[in-house]
Amino acid sequence: MESIHSLITARRSCRKFTDQPLSKEQVELLKKAALLAPTSKNNRPWHFIFVTDPDIIDALSTSKPHGASFLKHATMAVVIIADPEKSDVWIEDTSIAATYLQLSAEDIGLGSCWVQIRKRMSDDQTSASEKIKQLLNIPSCFEVASIIAMGIKAKERPAYTDADLMTDRIHDNKFQQ
Ligand SMILES: Cc1cc2nc3c(=O)[nH]c(=O)nc-3n(C[C@H](O)[C@H](O)[C@H](O)COP(=O)(O)O)c2cc1C
């Protein structure tokens, strides 16, 4: 197990995966990680759909015109949804769960990448969320927040170094111009 600091330094978005399947243990660990994510008032407004069917993953990869096509080659896609009626901060709750999933994936040596769905259109008329809800039989009360692509990394990307950090974004005590 890695320290959280080495994990956040090493994690990079991975959009290329090998054909190797994930083990049952890896998938179980990721499911638990999602369910361990904290939520406001412990409301837990989210659900997670773990998609491994290649035809469904293929369909998800066309849910929006930009930034989702790489999903086609992912081994697993975790679709994160929530019921906005269950929590006024469902966006925060689903985002934290997405981060838990990505860091847990890194911890067990897997690659991952976030695919934004909320606020994205599928085409001129339909939102990406609506398209995915139809595809996955998701009840109308839910919104789709994001999809996390997962798989065994086909290529390692360099970890971040101190030179990558925007240190001017950190302020001590008061905002410094
Ligand atoms: C809220 C959010 C939405 C993102 N949406 C997409 C997306 O739709 N498609 C994609 O390929 N990457 C997406 N990404 C990945 C970012 O492009 C990536 O995290 C960023 O370029 C920094 O690179 P790194 O993850 O390697 O540190 C998203 C990341 C975040 C946090």
> Which residue type is seen at 166?
M
Assigned domain for 50 exists: yes
Q: Is 114 in the pocket of ligand 1 (CB under 6 A)?
A: yes
Assigned domain for 64 exists: yes
Ligand 1 midpoint to CA 2 (Å): 23
Q: What is the structure's pLDDT at 23?
A: 98
Q: Is 31 in the pocket of ligand 1 (CB under 6 A)?
A: no
Alpha-carbon distance 33 to 99, whole Å?
A: 10
Assigned domain for 131 exists: yes
Q: What is the structure's pLDDT at 88?
A: 98
Q: What is the structure's pLDDT at 8?
A: 97
Q: Is 115 in the pocket of ligand 1 (CB under 6 A)?
A: yes
Alpha-carbon distance 94 to 160, whole Å?
A: 25
Q: Is 69 in the pocket of ligand 1 (CB under 6 A)?
A: no
Q: What is the structure's pLDDT at 125?
A: 95
Q: What is the pLDDT along the chain (177 residues), one digit of tens a residue?
A: 569 999 999 999 999 999 999 999 999 999 999 999 999 999 999 999 999 999 999 999 999 999 999 999 999 999 999 999 999 999 999 999 999 999 999 999 999 999 999 999 999 999 999 999 999 999 999 999 999 999 999 999 999 999 999 999 999 999 998
Residues in the chain: 177
Which residue minimizes the CA distance to atom 6 of ligand 1?
Answer: 115
CA proximity to 148, closest of 2, 38, 22: 22
Q: Is 67 in the pocket of ligand 1 (CB under 6 A)?
A: yes
Q: What is the structure's pLDDT at 2?
A: 66
Assigned domain for 172 exists: no
Angle between helices 90-107 and 24-35 (to 10 degrees): 150
Assigned domain for 150 exists: yes
The CATH number assigned to the domain holding 25 equals 3.40.109.10
Ligand 1 midpoint to CA 112 (Å): 10
Assigned domain for 162 exists: no
Q: Is 126 in the pocket of ligand 1 (CB under 6 A)?
A: no
59, 77 contact by CB (below 8 A): no
Assigned domain for 70 exists: yes
Assigned domain for 59 exists: yes
Both structure tokens of 94: 């689903």
Q: Is 12 in the pocket of ligand 1 (CB under 6 A)?
A: yes
Ligand 1 midpoint to CA 12 (Å): 9
Contacts of 53 (CB under 8 A, 6+ apart): none
Q: 125 is in which domain, residue-wise?
A: 15-154
Q: Is 105 in the pocket of ligand 1 (CB under 6 A)?
A: no
Tally of structural domains, the chain: 1
The whole-model pTM stands at: 0.98
Instruction: Give the nearest ligand 1 atom to 14 CA.
Output: 26
